[in-house]
Structure 1
Amino acid sequence: MIDSGATQWVTDLMATLGAPGAGLAIALENIFPPLPSEVILPLAGFTASTGGMNLYAALVWTTVGSVVGALALYGIGAALGRDRVVAVAARIPLVKVADLERTEAWFERHGTKAVFFGRMIPVFRSLISVPAGLERMRLPVFLTLTTLGSALWNTVFVLAGFFLGERWEVVSGYVSTYSKVVLAAAAVALLVFIAIRVFRGSKAGGPGGRAAEEARTDRT
């Protein structure tokens, strides 16, 4: 179901500013994920098909908007810094600093792939910029990967809206389903993580766990 309010807002923005309006909408979508790219991009393509803007300008400006929004989130991650995140993580129930360290090690090995392919996963396409900032991924690398990944994602959906014309909403329906699947998978992963933490915690709190902990304490 497409939010008619969001659609009207994006339509008005593009009517006022043209292709730069589409870029501005996408920049905001990166920072505020509830603004749906599955509405903005095909709508920009449809607008281009009616002569409301140049198709190439729409592709360029939406990619520029993606990069600007990603840079803002990268800056937030860099400003937060590792020490602050570790301090916050240490206070969150069921989250251990060791988990964060493993995540950091994973990002160090696979961060380039995560930033590139993450640009094509709803919600995560925005959030992936934050750990990139936290880990201080080299800015030229981050910008290159973000530009390429965003250009691919944007081009597919802008062109879909362009060729579908008045049926551009069909694209939004498919992407909305894709987004729900991704979010459901993330929710299941979170529940599994919590279940494992609770299970391990109960085992550690049992007689065997306490005995092992006391033995370690005696040795030290």
Structure 2
Amino acid sequence: MGDWVIRLIEQSGYLGVGFLMFLETIFPPIPSEVIMPVAGVAAAKGQMSLAGVIAAGTTGAMLGNIVWYLAARALGIIRLKPLIDRFGRWITMDWNEVQRAEHWFRQNGTFFVFLGRMLPTVRSLVSVPAGLLKMRFKTFFIASTIGTAGWTSALAYAGFKLREQFTEVDQWLGPVSNAILVTLVLGYLWRLIRYRAMS
């Protein structure tokens, strides 16, 4: 994966960075934790500017974010009601909880989107609840752009400073990503057990 990313960035420059970050957002297994530090190394070598790398990465990721948001918004939460009513015990949520979540999201959605964009593992999924719950596009766009720019900037700058040791970024973020994933799984299992006990 890393060699392919390096080659594409070396051959395509800013366009390659943007394209890879777009793919990373649409297909999360392609890690931004590799893409942006590699682009930062290229900037450190003078092949691109650091500001250009950050702008390209942010633009590509935002295009992917918007695709997910528009797809989820077109679907809408109402269309999921039959599935929630039928499989609520497996997703640990009934329709009343969905409505409470919608109310919470109206009050806290901006911060949720901003913070979510800066968290490994979940950052690519933030667009889905924002779209399903019909968050205003302007609010979604601003919060997403700020969070995404912060994430891409941090990774690109790490690569810029570390240069050939950019793999240290993934070595540090890997355990963080795994910890977040484990927390999400444990949270789901706890809710599943609790939901069944209450039903």
- TM-score in same-fold range (> 0.5): yes
Alignment of 1:20-99 (within 5 A): 20-94=15-89, 95-99=93-97
Give, in whole Å, the separation in 1 of the partners of 2:17 and 2:121.
Answer: 19
Does the 8 A contact of 1:20 with 1:61 survive in 2?
yes
- In structure 2, give the amino acid aligned to 1:27: F
Moved more, 23-32 or 8-17: 8-17
Give, in whole Å, the separation in 1 of the partners of 2:188 and 2:145.
Answer: 30
Does the 8 A contact of 1:19 with 1:54 survive in 2?
no
The one of 118, 121, 124 aligned to 1:120: 118
Does the 8 A contact of 1:59 with 1:151 survive in 2?
yes
Q: 2:152 corresponds to which residue? A: 154
Q: 2:168 corresponds to which residue? A: 170
Moved more, 43-52 or 154-163: 43-52
Per-residue CA deviations over 1:18-60 (Å, capped at 9, x if unaligned) read 0121111111111111111111111110111122322211011
Give the C-alpha shift of residue 132 in structure 1: 0.9
Does the 8 A contact of 1:49 with 1:165 survive in 2?
yes
Does the 8 A contact of 1:30 with 1:69 survive in 2?
yes
Does the 8 A contact of 1:62 with 1:154 survive in 2?
yes
Q: Greater relative contact order (Cα 8 A, min sep 6): structure 1 or 2?
A: 2
Confirm whether residue 9 of structure 1 aligns to residue 4 of structure 2.
yes
Per-residue CA deviations over 1:72-101 (Å, capped at 9, x if unaligned) read 110111111122122221221514112222
Does the 8 A contact of 1:30 with 1:126 survive in 2?
yes
Give, in whole Å, the separation in 2 of the partners of 1:65 and 1:193.
Answer: 35
Give, in whole Å, the separation in 1 of the partners of 2:78 and 2:136.
Answer: 19
Gaps of 5+ in 2: none
Give, in whole Å, the separation in 2 of the partners of 1:86 and 1:124.
Answer: 24
Give the TM-score, by structure 1 length. 0.85
Query: Computing the radius of gyration over CA atoms, which structure comes out larger, 1 or 2?
Result: 1
Give, in whole Å, the separation in 1 of the partners of 2:181 and 2:161.
Answer: 29
Give the TM-score, by structure 2 length. 0.94
**Residue identity (%):** 36
Give, in whole Å, the separation in 2 of the partners of 1:132 and 1:99.
Answer: 16
Give the C-alpha shift of residue 195 in structure 1: 0.8
Give, in whole Å, the separation in 2 of the partners of 1:16 and 1:88.
Answer: 46
Structure 1 stretches of 4+ moved >4 Å: none
Per-residue CA deviations over 1:174-215 (Å, capped at 9, x if unaligned) read 1111100111111111011001011112xxxxxxxxxxxxxx
Q: 1:210 corresponds to which residue? A: none
Gaps of 5+ in 1: 1-5, 202-220
